[in-house]
Structures are given as C-alpha cells and as structure tokens.
C-alpha cells in the first residue's frame, strides 16, 4: 500500500460530459485538475451508438467518439486524466481525503463529483446482448427515440418516468407497447391517464419480458408472458426501452453528503454545492429529472466555476 499522500487543488471523480467539462473549465482556471475516469471511462454515453441531440454536431456523433473528443479537449488544457476509480472518501475534516483503488491517498482542496447514474435493466441475456451491440435496446427514450420514428417499439416500466417516456415515444413511433409487470401502475394517476388516453400506446398489465428477439444484429421483437395465464406471445418491435429507473453511483459518499431517498446527491438550488464546503456535484449523480449529456455538461461547468470561487474566497 502506498504511504505517499498526493495533494491536489481540484479532484474530479468520474468522467462523461460532466466530468470532462468540469476538467476543461478547471484547467483553464489554472486549478490543475486531476480527473479519475472511474469504472466506465466516458460514462453512459460510451454505450450509446449515435448522439444526435448534442449541440455542435450537425451530422451526429457516436457516444465513444464524443467522449474521446471531450477528453482530448480537457487534456489540451493540461487536465490530468487518469485511469482508476475512487473507492473511499473522508469528508469529515477540513481536508477532503480520497482513496483511489483502495491504495493511493489524495488530499484535495476541492472535489467535483461526476460519478453519474447507472440505468437499470432487466438483466436478460438477450437484452444485454443487443444493448452491447447497439442494436435496439435503450434506457433513454429522449436520447434514442428519434431512431425509431415510424416504427413499433416496446417499453417496460410502470412509474411516472416510464409513462413519460412512453408518451414521448408515442409522438415518434407508429405503435408503443407498454409492459407493466403487475396488475396496476406505480405512476401517478395523471401520468397513467396520459398513456391510457394515447391511441397508439397499448398497455399490457401483468406481463413480463421473457426474451428480446433479434436477428443477431438488431432487435426484431419481444417475447412476453402473462403472469396469470402463463401464455407467451411475440410482439414485433425494432426497439426495446427499459424504463425501470436509474441508480446514482453515490454509495461511497452516503456517510458525508446529503442524499435523497433514491441516492441522488442533494445540491444547493441553483448551484453545484453540496452540504460539505468545497465538495461539488455535477451531472446525473444529482440529476434525476433531465439526465441528458448537454445538461450534464452544463452542470460540469457550474461545478468548476463554483470550485474556483470557493478557492478564491479562501485566499
């Protein structure tokens, strides 16, 4: 185990649009940021085939390509981008202590958390196969719905977010089949009414996914089973959307930062400030509403500016 302690002015935990944007701004402000990429360098966008709604890319861009470009931009201003992930923190004192890979100890004047959130999936082998292939499985209708314009899709979920995403897809797609595992929705009545009153949304209650069907490259349908009758049937579809929630990657901060009931970090409204002075949050680790690359980038900018002002006030 390393005994040498590194001192850092600005440590950024996590990559993706939030982390890299924070690194760009922090580097340009001479804060000498050190960024650890985490267990998924580049974040959720590295699993996204095409990004067409981020400003500045008129022809679109792949998620991995966009992350490479953001990383390169941060490094152009001498941001120190490193492999590795933060496994433990101690924010109890004046010095913010962080451990990387359980071995390296870093003492930080400021910390920007950009650890994001992970979409929940059903965990079916077929679902994961087409998710990795980029062939029709998604957890973000706003991100990927456009690619299924005029087509038939299936969405799984029963909460407000699932209803919202199903309604969004209904404006683009020929037909949306909504699978609800139980005999009723978990969503609010107004959101349930919205999907029930949409002509091209078919709701199947008491129904669960058995398998995501495909031709080896792209999704072609979904096999479902009725929980009571045990009857199975295949639903033609070119897209399969999981809308069963997200889990923010914030477990290591729970002893020090204020989190909501789901685990999202609570920030001071209108800022990136957490309840611990000198610790800031950006991106999906605090955002359970928008969860878009462009909003994550915006909060990354906010976090770097807030960190800069915090340091300036201490001088």
pLDDT digits (tens, 9 = 90+) for 46-86: 666 678 889 999 998 888 899 999 999 999 999 999 999 99
pLDDT of 219 > 60? The answer is yes
Q: Looking at 242, 257, 285, which one is the last position of a domain?
A: 242
Where among 185, 214, 242 does a domain terminate?
242
- Whether residue 21 is found in the same domain as residue 95: yes
Same domain? For 98 and 139 the reply is no
The answer to whether the CB of 163 falls within 8 A of the CB of 179 is no
Is the Cβ–Cβ distance between 243 and 162 less than 8 Å? Answer: yes
Residue-wise burial string across 6-15, b where 16 or more C-beta atoms lie within 10 A, e elsewhere: eebebbbbbb
Report residue 83 CA to chain centroid gap: 20
3-state secondary structure of 97: strand
What is the reported pLDDT for 162?
93
The tokens for 197 are 């009153």
Regarding whether 153 and 89 lie in a shared domain, the answer is no
Q: What is the pLDDT of residues 90-145, one digit of tens each?
A: 999 989 999 999 999 999 999 999 999 988 999 999 999 999 898 899 998 988 99
pLDDT bracket for residue 3 (50, 70, 90): low
C-alpha to C-alpha distance for 113 and 5, rounded to whole angstroms: 20
Average pLDDT, the chain: 93
Cβ(73)–Cβ(24) below 8 Å: yes
Q: What phi and psi, each to the nearest 5 degrees, are found at residue 242?
A: -95, 120
Whether residue 53 sits in one domain with residue 23: yes
310: pLDDT strictly greater than 70: yes
Statement to judge: residues 255 and 113 lie in one domain: yes
pLDDT at 258 over 50: yes
The residues near 229 (Cβ < 8 Å, ≥ 6 apart) are none
Same domain, 126 and 114: no
pLDDT score at 47: 64
Looking up residue 147, the CATH number of its domain turns out to be 3.50.50.60
Q: Which of 201, 220, 242 is the last residue of a domain?
A: 242
What's the confidence (pLDDT) of residue 1? 47
First-last CA distance in the chain = 34
The CA distance from 13 to 26, in Å, is 13
**Domain hosting residue 94, numbered range:** 5-118+246-314
Q: Is the pLDDT reported for residue 2 higher than 60? A: no
| Residues annotated as catalytic (active site), given as ranges | 140, 143-144
Task: Examine the domain organization and report whether 203 and 298 are in the same domain.
Answer: no
- Note whether 10 and 109 are same-domain residues: yes
Which residues neighbour 129 within 8 Å (Cβ) at sequence distance 6 or greater?
Answer: 212, 214
Q: Give the integer Cα–Cα distance in Å for 277 and 128.
A: 40
Pair 96, 173 in one domain? no
Residues 131 and 93 in one domain: no
Q: What is the pTM of this model?
A: 0.82
Q: What is the pLDDT of residue 263?
A: 96
Tokens of 50: 């095409």
Total structural domains within the chain: 2
User: For 172-212, how does the pLDDT look when each residue is reduced to its tens digit (9 = 90+)?
Assistant: 999 999 999 999 999 999 999 999 999 999 999 999 999 99
Q: Lowest mean pLDDT: which of 47-56, 151-160, 249-258?
A: 47-56
Q: Are residues 125 and 81 in the same domain?
A: no
Q: Are residues 131 and 232 in the same domain?
A: yes
């Amino acid at each position: 185990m390393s005994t040498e302690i590194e001192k850092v002015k600005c440590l950024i935990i996590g990559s993706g649009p939030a982390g890299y944007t924070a690194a760009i701004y922090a580097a340009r402000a001479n804060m000498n940021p050190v960024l650890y990429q985490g267990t998924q360098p580049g974040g959720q966008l590295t699993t996204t085939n095409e990004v067409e709604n981020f400003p500045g890319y008129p022809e679109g861009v792949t998620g991995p390509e966009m992350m490479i470009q953001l990383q390169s931009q941060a490094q152009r201003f001498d941001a120190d981008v490193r492999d590795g992930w933060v496994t433990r923190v101690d924010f109890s004192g004046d010095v913010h202590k962080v451990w990387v890979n359980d071995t390296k100890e870093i003492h930080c004047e400021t910390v920007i958390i950009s650890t994001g959130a992970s979409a929940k999936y059903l965990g079916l082998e077929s679902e994961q196969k087409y998710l990795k292939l980029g062939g029709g499985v998604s957890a973000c209708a706003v991100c990927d719905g456009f690619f299924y314009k005029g087509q038939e899709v299936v969405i799984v979920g029963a909460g407000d977010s699932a209803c919202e995403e199903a309604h969004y897809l209904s404006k683009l797609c020929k037909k949306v089949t909504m699978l609800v595992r139980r005999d009723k929705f978990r969503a609010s009545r107004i959101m349930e009414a919205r999907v029930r009153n949409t002509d091209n949304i078919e709701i199947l209650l008491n129904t669960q996914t058995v398998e995501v069907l495909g031709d080896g490259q792209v999704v072609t349908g979904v096999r479902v089973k009725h929980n009571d009758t045990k009857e199975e049937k295949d639903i033609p579809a070119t897209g399969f959307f999981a809308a069963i929630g997200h889990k923010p990657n914030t477990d290591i901060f729970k002893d020090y930062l204020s989190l909501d009931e789901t685990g999202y970090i609570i920030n001071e409204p209108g800022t990136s400030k957490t309840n611990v002075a000198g610790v800031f949050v950006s991106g999906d680790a605090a955002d359970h509403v928008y969860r878009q690359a462009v909003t994550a980038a915006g909060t990354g900018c906010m976090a770097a500016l807030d960190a800069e002002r915090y340091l300036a006030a201490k001088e």
